[in-house]
Amino acid sequence: MKIAHRIDDLGTETAFAVAQAAAEWKAKGNRIFPFHLGDIDIPTAPHIVDAMNAAIADGKTGYCPGPGIPELRAVLADDIGGQRGMPVDAEDVVVTTGGKPVITKFLQTVMNPGEGVLYPNPGFPIYESQIEYLGGVPLPYRYVPTPDGFAIDLDHLRSLITPQTTALIYNDLQNPISAESTDAEREAVAKIAQEHDLWVLSDEAYFEMRYEGESRSIAALPGMQERTVILYTFSKKFAMTGSRLGCAVAPREVANIISTLNTNDESCTTHFVQWAGIAALQGTQEPVHRMLDEFRGRRDAVCDLVNGIPGMSVAVPQSTFYVFPDVTETVQRMGLTDVGEFAQQALHATGVSFCTREHFGRRQPGEDRDYIRLAYSGIGLDDITEGLGLLRDWVESV
Ligand SMILES: Cc1ncc(COP(=O)(O)O)c(C=O)c1O
């Protein structure tokens, strides 16, 4: 039987493949230190779970409106608008099954086949997958290392733009590299979007996952709200990755189209989960603060330990729950030429499982450094210390 041609262009989130390799190694009786997946080992807070159960008991188990229940849209509009200092109406908010569908639905709405879309590389792999799957032209823009982490190579980004470029995906508080724009960089990106009349997808999945300072949204800059779709998710902030709850905040015309796409694809987002979302936003924020405190401690430990491994170095990121160390010298020290081989050998020698730069979009021409991504959201402090200690011992033993 034949499979449709477009499937040839469909990528995936290859971190799940690393999870599979780790699970197989574990099934053979080995111990695993999981740094590979951005999932969270902290359960959803009890008051959110209670609200979900109460909604089920109360019969909130049927279909509900495609763009989301009005009560949640109103609470999200207040919260998202308030946090970002911009006016958001409930009608601008379309509830989705997590943040991820916003990527696809944004591209379906604004991009014709053959049109170019700029996106971060290394970056969340679904951007590239969906641009190609929907027949667009992928325009990956790169980052340069700085003493604090990474900065967008703005000249490179500008050089990619053609008259057929229609949109720019921007992931401030970035997965996998934990980069964060300065105000000047964010303003420069906004200026480019306006000069070239680009739609912007602002992926704000980690907007609240920060340890110092305050997050800012490109959508709140002058002239940006009317061209920007915000991807918002409950997954990270409220430890609700499996509940699948998020939303798009979009100019009204785009919001209405995304709502119609919802009706075509899912009918609606799970009804009772939306009531849990209201409890998450309106209830105590204490669990969020506790989780951030926990992650801050893990981040500090991971950065300290990584910087103690021969050949590895990383700056301490202020946000997300990833670190993206340069491991070029470590890979060389181990006598390897391929960072993927390094990851595989590390798994088998120490049980430490992680993704490499290769999992976050194709390498760009001229890229000669090797990086790995360590996610510390799914592994406790003791295991972080033990796992990275084993990794150091293994590297030192060579
Ligand atoms: C940058 C980025 N955007 C979007 C998502 C999607 O999140 P969700 O679980 O809400 O679909 C993720 C998840 O890891 C992410 O890292």
Task: Please tell me the distance from the alpha carbon of residue 348 to that of residue 380, in angstroms, as a whole number.
Answer: 21
User: pLDDT tens digits for 159-191?
Assistant: 999 999 999 999 999 999 999 999 999 999 999
- Residue 235 Cβ inside 6 Å of ligand 1? The answer reads yes
- C-alpha 171 – ligand 1 centre gap (Å): 10
Helix 100-110 and helix 125-133, axial crossing angle in degrees, nearest 10: 30
Average pLDDT over residues 205-225: 96
Predicted confidence (pLDDT) at residue 16 exceeds the cutoff of 90 = no
Residue 351 in contact with ligand 1 by CB distance below 6 A: no
pLDDT value of position 37: 86
Closest approach atom of ligand 1 to CA 97: 11
Find out whether 68 and 247 touch, Cβ atoms under 8 Å: yes
pLDDT of residue 398: 86
Per the CB < 8 A criterion, the answer to whether 392 and 46 are in contact is: no
Whether 272 is in the pocket of ligand 1, judged by its Cβ within 6 Å, is no
- The span from the CA of 85 to the CA of 261, in Å, is 28
> Which protein residue's CA is at the shortest distance from atom 6 of ligand 1?
100
Among candidate residues 126, 82, 136, the one with its CA nearest the CA of residue 281: 82
Q: Ligand 1 pocket check: which of 235, 237, 321 to mutate, most ligand atoms within 8 Å of Cβ?
A: 235
Which atom in ligand 1 lies closest to the alpha carbon of residue 233? 10
Out of 9-18, 130-139, 217-226, pick the least confident: 9-18
Distance from C-alpha of 364 to C-alpha of 122, rounded to nearest angstrom:
9
Which atom of ligand 1 approaches the CA of 246 most closely?
10
Distance between start and end Cα atoms, the chain: 51
Nearest CA to ligand 1 atom 5: 100
- pLDDT given at position 45: 98
Ligand 1 pocket residue status of 128, Cβ below 6 Å: no
Instruction: Note the pLDDT tens digit of each residue in 225-254.
Output: 999 999 999 999 999 999 999 999 999 999
Confidence tier at 359 by pLDDT (50, 70, 90): very high
Q: Is 246 in the pocket of ligand 1 (CB under 6 A)?
A: yes
Distance 219 CA to ligand 1 centre (A): 18
**Token pair recorded at residue 233:** 């998710």
- What is the percent of the chain where pLDDT is above 90? 95
Instruction: Give the residue among 191, 182, 186, 222 at the shortest CA–CA distance from 202.
Output: 186
Please choose, from the candidates 34, 56, 81, the residue with its C-alpha nearest in 3D space to the C-alpha of residue 243.
Answer: 56
* Residue pLDDT, tens place only, 270-307: 999 999 999 999 999 999 999 999 999 999 999 999 99
The Cα–Cα gap between 40 and 375 comes to: 10
Q: Could you tell me if 15 and 358 are in contact, meaning their C-beta atoms sit under 8 angstroms apart?
A: no
Judged against a pLDDT cut of 80, whether residue 61 lies above it is answered with yes
247-286: b or e for each residue (b if 16 or more CB lie within 10 Å)? bbbbeeebbbbbbebbeeeeebbbbbbbbbbbbbbebeee
Q: What is the pTM of this model?
A: 0.97
Q: Choose the residue to mutate in 233, 270, 322 for probing ligand 1, maximizing ligand atoms within 8 Å of C-beta.
A: 233
How many angstroms separate the alpha carbon of residue 119 from the centre of ligand 1?
15
Beta carbon of 171 within 6 Å of any ligand 1 atom: yes
Q: Ligand 1: distance of its center to the CA of 1 in Å?
A: 34
Question: How far apart are the CA of 349 and the centre of ligand 1, in A?
Answer: 30
What pLDDT shows up at residue 145? 93
- Pick the residue whose CA is nearest to atom 3 on ligand 1: 205
| Peptide bond connecting 317 to the previous residue in cis, omega within 30 degrees of 0 | no
Q: Give the rounded percent of residues in the chain with a pLDDT score beyond 70.
A: 100
Q: Is the CB of 175 under 6 A from ligand 1?
A: yes
Q: Which atom of ligand 1 lies closest to the CA of 101?
A: 11
Ligand 1 touching residue 274 (CB < 6 A)? no
Reported as a pLDDT band with limits 50, 70 and 90, residue 17 is confident
Res 141 pLDDT > 90: yes
Contact 124 CB / ligand 1 (< 6 Å): yes
